[in-house]
Amino acid sequence: MDKTIALYRLEAELKEAKLEAKTTEKMYQLLVSEIKEKLGHGAQLHSEPNSQESKSNEGDKKADDIVELAKEEEGIRRFKGSARARRSFRKNDGSGNKVTENVIRIRECDLLKEIDKQGVSVAHCVAMDMRMGAGIAKDLKKKCRINTKQLSKGAKVGDIVAMKYNDDYVIQLVTKEESQELPEWKDFERTIRGLPNVCLELGIKKLAMPMIGCGLDALRWSDASELINKIFQGTSIEITIAMYAEKNYGRTSIGSKKRISLQPSKPKVFVVGDSHTKGIGRILEQKGDNSKEYASWVQSGATTEMIADNINSISSHLGPKDNLVVMTGTNDIKWKSDGSCSIDLAREARRNIMSQARRTKVILLSVPLRYDKPDAINVTKIYNEQLLNAYKKEAENLDLFNIRYLEVNDFLTEEHYARDKVHLNDRGKEVLSQEIDNCVWDFNNESDLDF
């Protein structure tokens, strides 16, 4: 009986170690071996005292399954964001010793050389698909021979996936769904907050990273650095922020609008909007003009005010040669249960969006029609008429001439909508993307505004 109870405890320790990622691969294999050795002497897992000996084969098979799973995931550690984000990091390094404050250094260095230093791990931001097709992620994938297909299995926004590299780790921070979209700050923060715990559990003492979130993802370094400083306080982990001198992975240098690129960058087309714009950035990147860079920032269910609240920070990397494309308004028409609705033109918010034209080209899209309600088409048409008049008036009042208006309902028809008759289907997304690209081309080759 004592022997069986000991096995129960051993199995529980094994499961806890596997689930909580608090053991090394070597320790894990030792535990498995010990279980299999005990099984060989007639004791079984998942058995009561005096259980039939025939169940020993079943227990042995279970141990073999665990070993096979370990082989499949060898060198990869997965940390789920939903749990990690709620936990505060430990106040010691696991040995009971009091930890000292971390040292955060910002210096010009090559991140690809930092990872070759013994005892240094690297962290960077990725999307759920783990494409790593641009920026520092692309170079890390090539250098470290990252199997993106394997890493992306089951990955969700907020997760952290650590891959063994030599004796250290390459850590993927999953901050967004698609590579061509930009992360929302709440998702970025949720993911980064889990990083100190992951480092402590993996035994990482030195961590190098780029200006995470502030290169192709276009977040503000002042916000990101403040978060990093805050969450690593009270740990003994040494943080190095690598400013990569040889290439320009970011838009700006620290605390400055000055560009650090040694080569001229391509003009950017940046699409911002509600769920109607989901996937537009990816389609443009695949089928658009090769001489331009495409990206998007999408917030499903967003109102114009919500977009305006973020517009300054998410578009701060755009300049005179770039294009900011904004589609918003669908969620400003509030439908009630009795079929009536209320309309909000959000004039102040739209004024803020239009003011971006002082530094970059702005293309304002109308609100797509919807076909799910009897009065929805007429209401949306009236809303767009009022919207166009408001845009004209504000452009004149603000003395803005770097703006173009695109009426999307001139080319989108009911056949371009999904079954819910509210959102666009794949064909509708492709048509919208093509028309946006055409409008960008026209805008860049014409000097006059024509509402």
* 3-state percent breakdown (helix, strand, coil) of the chain, nearest 5: 40, 20, 40
Tokens of 56: 């020993």
Q: Using CA atoms, how far apart are residues 286 and 166, in angstroms rounded to an integer? A: 35
Q: Which residue has the tokens 């170079």?
A: 139
Residues 6+ apart with CB under 8 A from 141: 132, 148
Instruction: Tell me phi and psi for residue 249, to 5 degrees.
Output: -90, -20
Tokens of 330: 């669908």
Number of CB atoms found within 10 A of residue 290's CB:
7
Instruction: State the catalytic residue, choosing from 129, 139, 141, 176.
Output: 176
Distances (CA, A) of 256 to 221, 253, 374: 10, 6, 52
The sign of the CA dihedral 15, 18, 22, 27 is positive
Nearest to 191 by CA among 160, 155, 235: 160
User: Does residue 338 have an active-site annotation?
Assistant: no
Report the SS3 class of residue 244: coil
Give yes or no for a contact between 174 and 126, defined as CB atoms under 8 angstroms apart. yes
Tokens of 392: 């004209």
User: Does residue 217 have an active-site annotation?
Assistant: yes
Instruction: State the catalytic residue, choosing from 129, 217, 274, 322.
Output: 217
Instruction: Tell me phi and psi for residue 305, to 5 degrees.
Output: -65, -40
Report the SS3 class of residue 199: helix
**What type of residue sits at position 73?**
E
Q: Which residue has the tokens 């240098």?
A: 253
Number of CB atoms found within 10 A of residue 296's CB:
23
Helix (H) or strand (E) holding 196: helix 195-202
Nearest to 211 by CA among 300, 317, 116: 317
Active site residues: 176, 217
